[in-house]
Amino acid sequence: MSEPDSRSPSGPTSLIRIGSGQGFWGDDLDAPVRQVEGGPLDYLMMDYLAEVTMSIMQKQRGRRPEAGFARDFPPLMERIFPACLEKGVRIVTNAGGVNPEGCGEAVVEAGRAAGVGGRARVGVVTGDDLMERLDHLLEAGHELRHMETGEPLASVRDRVESANAYIGATPIVEALRQGADVVVTGRSTDTALTYAPMMHEFGWSDEDHDRIAQGVVAGHINECGAQASGGNALVDWWTIPAMERVGFPLVEAHSDGSFTVTKHPGTGGRVSRAVVTEQLLYEMGDPADYITPDVVADLTELTLDEDGPDRVRVSGARGRPATDFLKVSIAYADGFKAVGTLVYAWPDAAAKARSAERILRSRLDRLGLSFDEIRVELVGWDSTHGHLAGEPPADLPEVQLRFAVRGQDRDAVDRFTREIAPLVLTGPPSVTGFAGGRPRVQEIMAFWPALIRKEAVQPHLEVRTLEV
**Gap between the Cα atoms of 468 and 464, Å rounded:** 13
CB of 383 to another protein, least distance (A): 4
CB of 246 to another protein, least distance (A): 11
**Gap between the Cα atoms of 195 and 213, Å rounded:** 9
CB of 323 to another protein, least distance (A): 17
CB of 240 to another protein, least distance (A): 7
CB of 386 to another protein, least distance (A): 5
For another protein, the closer of residues 73 and 336 by Cβ is 336
For another protein, the closer of residues 244 and 455 by Cβ is 244
Q: Is 49 exposed, middle or buried (0-12, 13-18, 19+ CB in 10 A)?
A: buried
Task: Convert the chain into a string of H (helix), E (strand) and C (coil).
Answer: CCCCCCCCCCCCCCEEEEEEEECCCCCCCCHHHHHHHCCCCCEEEECCCCCCHHHHHHHHHHHCCCCCCCCCHHHHHHHHHHHHHHHCCEEEECCCCCCHHHHHHHHHHHHHHCCCCCCCEEEEEECCECHHHHHHHHHCCCCCCCCCCCCCHHHHHHHEEEEEECECCHHHHHHHHCCCCEEECCCECCCHHHHHHHHHHHCCCCCCHHHHHHHHHHHHHHCCHHHHCCCCCCCCHHHCCCHHHECCCEEEEECCCCEEEECCCCCECCCCHHHHHHHHHCCCCCCCCEECCCCEEECCCCEEEECCCCCEEEECCEEECCCCEEEEEEEEEEEEEEEEEEEEECCCHHHHHHHHHHHHHHHHHHCCCCCCEEEEEEECCCCCCHHHHCCCCCCCCEEEEEEEEEECCHHHHHHHHCCCCCHHHHCCCCEECCCCCCCCCEEEEEEEEEEEEHHHCHHHCEEEEEEC
For another protein, the closer of residues 433 and 449 by Cβ is 449
For another protein, the closer of residues 53 and 126 by Cβ is 53
For another protein, the closer of residues 10 and 239 by Cβ is 239
Angle at 397 between CA 391 and CA 400, to 5 degrees: 75
CB of 284 to another protein, least distance (A): 5
CB of 315 to another protein, least distance (A): 10
CB of 342 to another protein, least distance (A): 15
For another protein, the closer of residues 263 and 270 by Cβ is 270
For another protein, the closer of residues 315 and 465 by Cβ is 315
CB of 153 to another protein, least distance (A): 16
For another protein, the closer of residues 48 and 73 by Cβ is 48
CB of 308 to another protein, least distance (A): 14
CB of 301 to another protein, least distance (A): 6
For another protein, the closer of residues 244 and 395 by Cβ is 244
Its sign, for the CA torsion 384, 389, 392, 398, is: negative
For another protein, the closer of residues 6 and 384 by Cβ is 384
For another protein, the closer of residues 48 and 332 by Cβ is 332
Q: Which residues bind another protein (CB under 8 A)?
A: 51-52, 148, 232, 234-236, 238-244, 270, 274, 277-288, 299-304, 316, 334, 337, 339, 373-375, 377, 379, 383-388, 402, 404-406, 444-447, 449
